Amino acid sequence: MKNCYGIKLAHGQVQCCDLARNEYIKNNGERKWHYDDTEFWSFFLKKINYDEETLSFLILSDQNDFPIPSHIRLHHQNSITQKAYNHFLMDVVHINIITKPQASFQTRPATRKSRTAQQEDVFKASPSHIAVAYYQDKTAEYEK
């Protein structure tokens, strides 16, 4: 699983991970930073010391596509392991999964409740759920 990288892009913020080492690639000490297509690829290639070797990507994005520059060479077959795939997908919901080159993985079963489901359980157990619901609705209206 050499030269396999994970990229998460959501709400204009990007994260990168070296899947073989299970280490995040940081930008000025930050795990997440503002995504800009041109700046991202030049930063990424410099950070991994890219030297024409072939790469594999597991990309999680709230966009429909995540273009990879044509000068980046891709493995003939994706070499990302199921374990790395499962680990990288932890706590990710409502996002597109893109692999470059194409690969298929078993979808992992939901092993724990999402934060929203956990909050709903706490909400249902709360004796003051009517007041909480009122303020949640007002907060949601205010945030719009």
pLDDT in tens, 88-123: 777 665 566 666 676 666 555 444 444 445 444 444
Residue 91 and residue 128 in one domain? no
97 Cα distance to chain centroid: 9
Strands (E) in 83-141, as ranges, are 96-100
| 55 DSSP assignment | B
Residue 20 and residue 48 in one domain? yes
Q: What sign results for the dihedral spanned by CA atoms 134, 115, 12, 26?
A: positive
Q: Is residue 106 part of a domain?
A: no
Cβ-in-10-Å burial (0-12, 13-18, 19+) of 16 comes to buried
The larger pLDDT score, comparing residue 94 to residue 64, is at 64
User: Domain total for the chain?
Assistant: 2
Residue 48 and residue 91 in one domain? yes
Residue 40 and residue 65 in one domain? yes
For residue 124, give its domain range: 113-144
| 106 DSSP assignment | P
